[in-house]
Amino acid sequence: MAKSRNWIANLDWITILIYVLMIFLGWINIYAAVYTEDQPGLIDFSLRHGKQLIWIMAAILIAFIILLIETKFYYYFAYVFYSIFIIILFVVIFIARDINGANAWLEIGSFRIQPGEFAKFATALAMARLMSTYNFDISDRKDLLKVMVIMFLPVVLIIMQNDLGSALVYFSLLIVLYRYGFPGWILLLGIFFVGLFVASFKISTLTLTFFVIFLASVLSAINFRRVTEVSIALGVFTLVLILSWVMIKLVDIKIELYYLVALSFVFSSIIYGYWIYSKKLGFVLLMLGFVFMSLIFLFSVEYIFNNIMGEHQQNRILVLLGEKDDPKGIEYNVNQSKIAIGSGGLTGKGFLQGTQTKYKFVPEQSTDFIFCTVGEEWGFLGTTSVILLFIALFWRLLVMAERQKTPFSMLYGYGVTGIIFFHFAINIGMTIDLAPVVGIPLPFFSYGGSSLWSFTILLFIFIKLDSSRQNIL
């Protein structure tokens, strides 16, 4: 068929060009970050920039191979990939060695890879595959559950590896559901829980509980214009709270107020729920459910934080949320990162002239904080250019996604965009103190084979799918 040959002509060369530009700029900045006067060599395979050069070569090779493989392969093998990576992720939990507090690395000889990185494309493929099946119906609870399982199984496994950052990335796949037609409020709910998570470290759980209850009440009231009922509910709640507090005081048991609130809430909602049930006010029940979920969520966050996470991660979270003052710790890193970027000024200090990155004031400056090198040596012009380059990539990816004839390719395209965007937003956000320091790389820029290859695979599968968009699967 003529079609099978014209995929080369159909390749989206703009995207490939952006890709090449990005890995080139990334390498230049890695070189600058690693550079010292003592070891000025451009190609030294014992140093990071030398190694990155090898990763880049390999990545280009990988890209070629991906482009050569038939499009159908990705569709049919989507679940296979996914299953393989789930198994690997599962195995990694048990055999991986602790590196920076995470057990996320698989070691083969002197070679280290991070399966969590590669599982992203497999998950995106699997989701696209599932959601593009003919009889998939998002409003069917069974189907929704399936998608959720595919999406969050890796999250659970990666969290068990203690790699919070990589796990969070999977939430970006919600964008696929959104584009598919999933109601927007679900996404808003997701954002709400993320906010609640962050807030739970800044504000006391008790206050948050009240806030959630208040919010639910207000929402109910707005929805039904039934202020009376809501007031009654709040009244019952307060009454039970006061009564139980007095009782606790009488018997003199040491118990945190927080638990009392939860308790009184349970009581009042049972009474209220029964009353509501008799009046068949479904939405109020929904709100009660919402408050219950919030409480459970808050409990679990607290529990996971205190009992499951290691000190390293606790600190990371606390400091990035501004809850811990630790000039030599995480906050120090963010500070140094801002100083490095800020000191670049409008036009930067020039290539290899950065002192903050070169002299290691910024931690992880070739991996997670590579953007600092850009900021210090190339200034505002450099950082803006990089951001615009990413915007160009996202625009391209979305344009490509929208022109797909098959839901599979289109949904995968959205998955790719979501994942890369999440990395972009969190990574750059953390270097300028707008996002938590969760330690995820900047796509195509950061040093590291796993990350470069996984993004290459992620992107080029989509480029390949796009190139054969005329073919109907």
Partner 1 sequence: MNEYANRYYVVISAIVFVAIIFIIRLFSIQALDPSYKATAESNSTRVVIEFPTRGLIFTRDSALMVENKSSFDLMVIPENVTAFDTSYFIEILQLDSIQFIKEFIKAKKRSYIPAMVYKEIPDSIITKFQELQWMFPGFYLQTRALRHYPLSSAAHILGYIGEVDKNMIEKDAYYKQGDYIGITGIEKTYEVLLRGKKGRKLYLVDAKNRIRGSYKDGEMDETAISGKNIVLSIDSRLQTFGEQLMANKRGSIVAIEPSTGEILCLISSPAYDPNLLVGKNIASNYTQLRNDEANLLFNRAVMAQYPPGSTFKLVNALIGLQENVITTHSHFTCAGGYNVGSFHLGCHHNGSIEFYYSIQGSCNAYYCHVFDRILRNKEFQTIGESYTEWRNYVMQFGLGKRLGTDLAQELRGYIPEASHFDKYYGKDKWTPLRLISMSIGQGELGFSPLQMVNMTAAIANRGYYYTPHLIKNIEDLDTIPSKFKQKHTIDIDSAYFEEIIKGMEMVMKAGTAANAYVQGLDICGKTGTAENPHGKDHSIFVAFAPKDNPKIAISVYIENAGFGSTFAAPLASLLIEKYLRDSISVHQWETMLLNTSINYKTK
CB of 397 to partner 1, least distance (A): 10
- Which neighbouring-strand residues pair with 108? 111
Q: Is 283 in the site for partner 1 (CB under 8 A)?
A: no
Q: Is 384 in the site for partner 1 (CB under 8 A)?
A: yes
Q: Is 175 in the site for partner 1 (CB under 8 A)?
A: yes
Nearest to 22 by CA among 465, 467, 455: 455
| Alpha-helix runs per DSSP H in 403-448 | 407-431
Nearest to 118 by CA among 66, 166, 190: 166
How many residues form the binding site for partner 1 (CB under 8 A)? 47
Q: Is 39 in the site for partner 1 (CB under 8 A)?
A: no
Residue partners of 34: CB distance under 8 A and separation at least 6: 47, 48, 49, 366
Q: Is 389 in the site for partner 1 (CB under 8 A)?
A: no
Cα separation, 162 vs 115, in Å, equals: 13
Between 131 and 164, name the residue whose CB sits nearer to partner 1.
131
Write the DSSP symbol of residue 158.
H
- Residue range at the interface with partner 1 (CB under 8 A); choices 79-87, 115-123, 304-312, 381-389: 381-389
Q: Is 326 in the site for partner 1 (CB under 8 A)?
A: no
Residue with tokens 């999406």: 151
Instruction: State the binding string over 228-257 for partner 1 (x if CB under 8 A, else -).
Output: ------------------------------
Between 177 and 241, name the residue whose CB sits nearer to partner 1.
177
Encoded tokens for 205: 């759980």
Helix orientation angle between 330-343 and 311-320, rounded to the nearest 10 degrees: 50
- Residue range at the interface with partner 1 (CB under 8 A); choices 25-33, 108-116, 247-255, 378-386: 378-386
Encoded tokens for 350: 């020039």
Q: Is 445 in the site for partner 1 (CB under 8 A)?
A: no
Encoded tokens for 203: 């504000």
Q: Is 355 in the site for partner 1 (CB under 8 A)?
A: yes
Nearest to 191 by CA among 204, 176, 208, 174: 174
Between 200 and 366, name the residue whose CB sits nearer to partner 1.
366
Q: Is 428 in the site for partner 1 (CB under 8 A)?
A: yes
Q: Is 463 in the site for partner 1 (CB under 8 A)?
A: no
Apex 106 CA angle, 35 and 124, nearest 5:
95
| Of the candidate residues 165, 407, 436, 449, the single one contacting partner 1 (CB under 8 A) | 407
Residue with tokens 């390293």: 312
Write the DSSP symbol of residue 252.
T
Q: Is 462 in the site for partner 1 (CB under 8 A)?
A: no
The answer to whether residues 85 and 119 touch, using CB atoms and an 8 Å cutoff, is yes
| Of the candidate residues 5, 37, 42, 225, the single one contacting partner 1 (CB under 8 A) | 37
Q: Which residues of the chain form contacts with partner 1 (CB under 8 A)? A: 36-37, 175, 178-181, 336, 338-346, 355-356, 358-361, 375-376, 379-380, 383-384, 387-388, 390-391, 394-395, 398, 402, 407, 410, 414, 417, 421, 425, 428-429, 432, 434
